[in-house]
Amino acid sequence: MRARPRLADGTGPVLVVLLILLVVLAFAGPAYAEPSGYLALLKRAAPLVVLAVGQYFVIVSGGFDLSVGSLVTAEVVVAARLVDGDDANTWWVIALLLGCGVLVGLVNGLITTKLLVPSFIVTLGMLLVLDGAVFLWSGGAPRGALSPSFRVLGRGSADVPVLGQVPWSVIVLLVVVVVAVWFMRSGTGRMLLAVGDNENVVRLAGGRVDRLRLLAFVLSALLASVAAILLAGFAGVSAQVGEGLEFRAITAVVLGGVLLGGGRGSVVAAAAGALSLEALFSLLNLLGVSGALESAVQGVIIIAAVAYAAHGAGLRQILRRPVPDTA
Amino acid sequence: MAVTHGTPGAEHPVAVVRLEGIEKSFFGIPVLRGVDLSLHAGEVHALVGENGAGKSTLLKVLAGVHRPDAGRIVVRDEEVSFAAPRDAQASGIVIIHQEFTLLEHRTVAENVFLGREPVRRGQVDRRAMETETRRLLDWLGEDGIEPGTSVARLSVARKQVVEIVKALSADARVLAMDEPTAALADNEIELLYGLVRRLRDRGIAILYVSHRMREVFDLSSRITVLKDGAFVTCAPTADLDAEQVVRHMVGRPLEALYPERASHPGAVRIALRGAGNERVRNLTFDVRAGEVVGLAGLQGSGRSAVARAIWGVEPFTTGTVELDGVPTRVTGPRTAVRKGIGYVTEDRKGEGLALRQSVRDNTLLVRRAACRGAEARHDADLARLLGSVAVVARSPHQEVRYLSGGNQQKVVLGKWLAVRPRVLIVDEPTRGVDVGAKQALYRLLRELADDGMAIIMISSELPELIGMSDRILVMREGALAGELPAGADEETVMALATGHGAAA
C-alpha cells in the first residue's frame, strides 16, 4: 500500500508524444543521429522546462502566472546593466536576481490571496508593470554586458565523470525537475494539488490555503529567475528575450495534460510538455517551416490539448465509472 | 383539458404512462431489474426505496435520459421510445429536479418560456409571455408570484412553483418530483402540499419520490416500493402503514440497523457554558467520552450553527467552551483541528473531499494540513486507517470521485481519524449513503465512541438520530429547547423542536 504509482494520471500521452517527436527528429535531421544532438536539444529546452515547472505549481493550485515572460526580460536586462561585463559582479547579481524573483512572486501571491484579485489579472498587471519598467529603465535598448562567468550557466559545460561534458543548463534542469518531483510527493505538494481541486476542503481541514498559493507564486517567479539566468547566458541580452515565454510555458504545461483550474497533473508531464514543444519547434525548423509559424503552431497546440483534456476526461470517466450512485 | 379522474382502486383508471418490465444495467451491473410502474391522471403516486434502490435511474428512464435495456414505455396506450429528454417532454413527461434549472437573473415569465419565447414582429413578445404565465399561475392558485419579478428574488418554494409552471406551459401531463421537499424550509412544505393537491385535482399525474414517510402518507394515493433495483410492491396508500413500507424498502426489521448504545460514558470531553454567537445563544451542555449525543431541530434551528461555532468557522462570541476541562478558544478550523475537534460536514462534496485527489491523499489531508514535521509526514498507518473505516476502493490511488457515496463518507471519517480527535461532530453523516453503508457508518461511530471519543451527531432523519443517540438535545430558534433521554419517540422530539403540542 506504500507503493506509489510509477506515473501520475495523464503523464502517459505526453510521454508518447515526446517519444514520437524524438524518433521523428532522428530521421529528419542528421544532427540527431548522435546523442549530442539530443543533448543540444535538452540544453535549448532547459529554460522552458524550468519555466514550465514553475508555471505548473501555479496552475495546479488553481491559478495562472502570466508575469514570467516579462520577469525574464526584466532580469536579463537588469543583469546586463549591473554585471557590466565584470566577473566580480557575477555572484551577487545572480543572488539579487533570485531575490527579485522571490519578491515578484510574493507580490503576485499576496495580491491574489489577500486582495482576492484573480491571479490571471494580477499577473497580467505584473507583466505590464515589468514591461513598462524595463522600457523606462533601458530606453528600449539594454546597456551593459554579461560577464563570461555569468554566461557559463547558460552555455558552458561541466565535466561529469562517466558522461563527459554535460551542459550546465542540463544539470540545472535535472536538479529542478528532481526537486520538483520530490516536492510534489511531499505532504505540502499534495496539499497544493488539493488546493487547486477544492480549497474549501483544505481550509476546513485546518490547512493554510493562502500560504500554499503564495508558495506556488514564489516558486514560479523563482524558477523564472533561474530561467532568466540560463537564457541570458544562452541567448544573450535583448529586450525581447522573454517575450511570449509565459504563453509558451502555459502551452507546455497544458500539453503535459495538467488541468487548467488546478487539481490534476504531474510535474514530469509538465516538463515533458515543455520538452515536446521544444522538440516540435526544432523539427519544424529542420523541415524548413518558417519560424514565424511558431506562435500559430503553439496556438493550435494549446487549444487541441485543452480540448483533448476535456474529451479525455469524459472518456476516462465513462471507462472507469463505478456502479452509478442511484439515489 | 379533458381529463378522466383516476381514483385509487377504480376499475379502469386511465394510465397516462406505463412502464413495463424496465431493465437497465450499467457496465454489466443491473440497476433496474424488471420494474413496473403506471401513473394515472389525477393521482399522486409515491415512489420509495432506499438509496441505491434504483429510483433515480427509473426517473431517468422515464425522462428519456437513459434508454432501458429491456421493457416498454407506454404513453396513452402507445408504445414509445425516448432517445432524449426532449422526446419525453414532447410526450408530456417532465421531471422536477431537486436542483432547479432556472436562470436567476431573468423574470418568472422569461424562465417559463426559456427557449420557446413567443415572437411578435421579430421580437420576443413579453406581454404574451407574461399573460400566459399569469394564466397558469392563476390556474394553480398561486397568486403571490408576479410574472415580471426576477427569479433571484423568489423563495425556494416559489422557485419550485416556477419550475412547475414551466413544465405546465410545455403541456406536461406527468410531473415527476424528485425529493421536492429536500430544499424547502418546514413552513414551505405545507405550501408544497397544497400545490401538489391542486395539480392532482387538475388531472396531472404526479410521481412523488421521497424518503420521508410522512409526506408519502400525507399526499399519495398509491405507493410503489423498489428495493435493489427490483419492484417490490405497488399498493394503495390506504392499505399500507409506514412500518410496512419501511420493511418492504429495507427488507429486514429496522432495529438491527443501529448498534447497542453506550453502557457507561466517561469523563466530560467538551463542555459549553452559555456559549452563543449571532446564530445561536446561551448553549450549555456537556458531551462525555463514549457518548453519542444527537442534536435535533428543524432546519434553521441552529443545529449546524452549533457545529460550525464549536469548530470555529463562526466562533462563539459569548460564553466558554472547555475541552477536557481546559477552557479553550477556538478561532478557526485550524485551531479546532489542533485542539482535537473533527467535523464531518453536511456538504461532503463541497467541504469534505478533494474529489480529484486519491483516497490516500484525502485520508491524509487533515494530518498534512494541520500537523507539523514528522507527524504530518507520517503515513505508515494508512492501511490501518482505511481498514478501520472499511473503505472499498480499487486502490489507495483511486480518485475519490469514483467511489460511492458511502465509501466517500468513510474516507471523510478516515481523514478525521488520522488526527485522532477527542470530539467528533458529524452532520448528516448518512446523506446519500445506501442502507448497507449506513449500517457500517453507525457501527463505526459507535466504535469510535466506545474508544473514548465524544460524538455529536446532527441529522434531520429522526429515526436515525433516535436510533443512535445516548441523549438528544433539541434545538429551537437558536437555543436549546430541551434534552431527551435515549429512545425518545419522534413525536416528543418534534414537539420540542416546534414548540407545539405536549412537551415531554
Residue A84 sits in a domain whose CATH number is 1.10.3470
For chain B, helix, strand, coil in percent to 5 are 35, 25, 40
Give the cell for residue B84: 432524449
CB contact under 8 Å between B404 and A194, yes or no, is no
Asked if the structure places residue B260 within a domain, the reply is no
pLDDT band at B347 (very low <50, low <70, confident <90, very high): confident
Same domain, B83 and B183: yes
Quick one: pLDDT at residue A321?
Answer: 47
Pairing verdict, β B119-120 and B123-124: antiparallel
- Of B171, B187, B215, the position where a domain reaches its end is B171
- Contact criterion met (CB < 8 Å) for A263 and B357: yes
Backbone angles phi, psi at B287, to 5 degrees: -130, 130
What is the span of the domain harbouring residue B167? 102-171
A213 contacts in B (CB within 8 Å)? none
Nearest CA in chain A to B434: A327
For the residues B263-284, what does the mean pLDDT come to? 88
In this complex, do A321 and B355 lie within 8 Å of one another by their Cβ atoms? Answer: no
pLDDT score of B272: 92
pLDDT for res B432:
72
Tell whether B144 and B180 lie within a shared domain.
no
Name residues whose C-beta falls within 8 Å of residue B473's C-beta, 6 or more positions apart in sequence. B285, B293, B294, B295, B296, B480, B482, B483
Question: With contacts defined as CB-CB under 8 Å, which chain A residues touch B355?
Answer: 197-198
Among B171, B206, B232, residue at a domain's last position: B171
pLDDT at residue B439, rounded to an integer: 82
Asked whether residue B436 is assigned to any structural domain, the reply reads yes
pLDDT band at A71 (very low <50, low <70, confident <90, very high): very high
Assigned domain for A6 exists? no
Å between B439 CA and nearest CA of chain A: 17
Contacts of B368 in chain A (CB under 8 A): 187-188, 190-191, 207
- Return the pLDDT at A147: 84
Q: Quick one: cell of B384?
A: 490501518
Q: Please answer yes or no on whether A323 and B402 come within 8 Å at the CB atom.
A: no
What is the average pLDDT value for chain A, to the nearest integer? 85
B350 plus B478 within the same structural domain: yes
Do B397 and B333 reside in the same domain of the chain? yes
- Residue B57 touches chain A, beta carbons under 8 Å: yes
Chain A: give the shortest CA distance to residue B404, in Å.
6
Length of chain A measured in residues: 327
Give SS3 for B439. Answer: helix
Cβ under 8 Å to A: B residues 421-460: 432
In a domain, A10, yes or no: no
Q: Does B242 touch chain A (CB under 8 A)?
A: no
- Cβ under 8 Å to A: B residues 72-91: none
Q: Is B68 helix (H, G, I), strand (E, B) or coil?
A: coil
**DSSP-derived 3-state class of residue B48:** strand
Q: What is the mean pLDDT of residues A104-120?
A: 93
To the nearest whole Å, the CA of B60 is away from the closest chain A CA by: 10
- The number of distinct structural domains making up chain B is 3
A3 in a structural domain: no
Among B118, B141, B171, give the residue marking a domain's end.
Answer: B171
Closest chain B CA to residue A196: B354
Asked whether residue A71 is domain-assigned, the answer is: yes
Res B359 pLDDT > 50: yes
> In whole numbers, what is the pLDDT of chain B averaged over residues?
85
The verdict on B285 and B357 lying in the same domain is yes
Residues B385 and B271 in one domain: yes
Using 50, 70 and 90 to split pLDDT, how confident is the model at A274? very high
For residue range A134-159, what is the model confidence (pLDDT) as tens digits? 888 888 788 888 888 888 888 888 88
Strand partners, B174: B93, B205
Shortest CA distance from A8: residue in chain B: B397
- Say if residue B289 is in the same domain as residue B279: yes
The pLDDT of residue A323 is above 50: no
Q: Looking at residues B307-332, what average pLDDT do you find?
A: 90
Judged against a pLDDT cut of 80, whether residue B284 lies above it is answered with yes
Q: What pLDDT was estimated at residue A180?
A: 95
Q: Do B429 and B308 reside in the same domain of the chain?
A: yes
Inter-chain touch A206–B415, beta carbons under 8 Å:
no
Chain B residues 335-394 with a CB less than 8 Å from chain A? 336-338, 343, 345, 350-357, 361-362, 364-366, 368-370, 376-377, 379-380, 382-383
Tell me the average pLDDT across B341-345.
Answer: 91
Q: What is the pLDDT of residues A214-270, one digit of tens each?
A: 999 999 999 999 999 999 888 878 888 888 899 999 999 999 888 888 888 899 999
Write the secondary structure of chain A as one string of H (helix), E (strand) and C (coil). CCCCCCCCCCHHHHHHHHHHHHHHHHHHCHHHHCHHHHHHHHHHHHHHHHHHHHHHHHHHCCCCCCCHHHHHHHHHHHHHHHHCCCHHHHHHHHHHHHHHHHHHHHHHHHHHHHCCCCHHHHHHHHHHHHHHHHHHHHCCCCCCCCCHHHHHHHHCEEEECCCEEEEHHHHHHHHHHHHHHHHHHCHHHHHHHHHHHCHHHHHHCCCCHHHHHHHHHHHHHHHHHHHHHHHHHHHCCCCCCCCCHHHHHHHHHHHCCCCCCCCCCCHHHHHHHHHHHHHHHHHHHHCCCCHHHHHHHHHHHHHHHHHHHHHHHHHHHHHHCCCCCCC
Q: Is residue B32 part of a domain?
A: yes
User: pLDDT tens digits for B435-465?
Assistant: 667 888 898 899 899 988 999 999 888 888 8
Q: Note whether residue A176 is domain-resident.
A: yes
pLDDT of the residue at A4: 46
Q: What are the tens digits of pLDDT across the range A32-46? A: 778 888 888 898 899
CATH number at residue B179: 3.40.50.300
The answer to whether the CB atoms of A197 and B354 lie below 8 A apart is yes
Quick check: B425 pLDDT over 60? yes
Residues of chain B neighbouring A187 (CB-CB closer than 8 A): 364, 368, 376-377
| Least CB–CB distance from A194: residue in B343, B361, B379 | B361
pLDDT tens by residue, B130-153: 999 999 888 888 878 888 888 888
Reported as a pLDDT band with limits 50, 70 and 90, residue A9 is low
Domain membership flag for residue A248: yes
Q: Which residues of B touch A324 (CB under 8 A)?
A: 26, 31, 57
Give the count of domains, chain A: 1
Q: Which of A28, A34, A26, A60 is nearest to A273 (CA)?
A: A60
Task: Compute the distance between CA of residue B433 and CA of residue B413 in angstroms, rounded to an integer.
Answer: 14
Does the distance separating the beta carbons of B333 and A205 come in below 8 Å?
yes
Both B409 and B385 in one domain: the answer is yes
Q: Which residue of A has its CA nearest to B376?
A: A187
Cell 496552475, residue located: A59
pLDDT of residue A11: 75
User: A257: domain range?
Assistant: 15-317
What's the pLDDT at B287? 93
Q: What is the pLDDT of residues B72-125, one digit of tens each?
A: 999 888 888 888 888 888 889 998 887 778 888 889 999 988 888 888 888 888
Q: For chain B, say whether A327 makes contact (Cβ under 8 Å).
A: yes
For residue B1, being part of any structural domain is answered with no
Query: Could you say which DSSP state residue B422 is in?
Result: S
Confidence at residue B43, expressed as pLDDT on a 0 to 100 scale: 93
Taking contacts as CB-CB distances below 8 angstroms, the residues of chain B near A201 are 351-354, 365
Question: What's the whole-number mean pLDDT along residues B44-53?
Answer: 83
Residues B25, B72 within the same domain: yes
Beta-carbon pairs below 8 A across chains A and B: 116
Residue B4 included in any domain: no
Q: Is residue B97 part of a domain?
A: no
Is 60 exceeded by the pLDDT of residue B4? no
Residue B156 C-alpha, separation from nearest chain A C-alpha, in angstroms: 22
With beta carbons under 8 A apart, name residues in chain B contacting A264: 356
Q: Quick one: B197 and B63 in the same domain?
A: yes
* CB A320 within 8 Å of CB B398: no
Is the pLDDT at B397 greater than 90? The verdict is no
Could you tell me if B402 lies within 8 Å of chain A, comparing CB atoms? yes
Q: Report whether B24 contacts B31 (CB < 8 A).
A: yes
Domain-embedded: residue A2: no
Check CB contact of B250 with chain A, cutoff 8 Å. no
Does residue A122 fall inside a structural domain? yes
Question: Does B31 score more than 70 pLDDT?
Answer: yes
Q: Do A263 and B415 touch (CB under 8 A)?
A: no
Nearest-neighbour CA in chain B from A2: distance (Å): 8
Nearest to B333 by CA among B363, B358, B302, B365: B365
B52, B382, B399: residue with CB nearest A1:
B382
User: Within this chain, do residues B339 and B400 fall inside the same structural domain, yes or no?
Assistant: yes
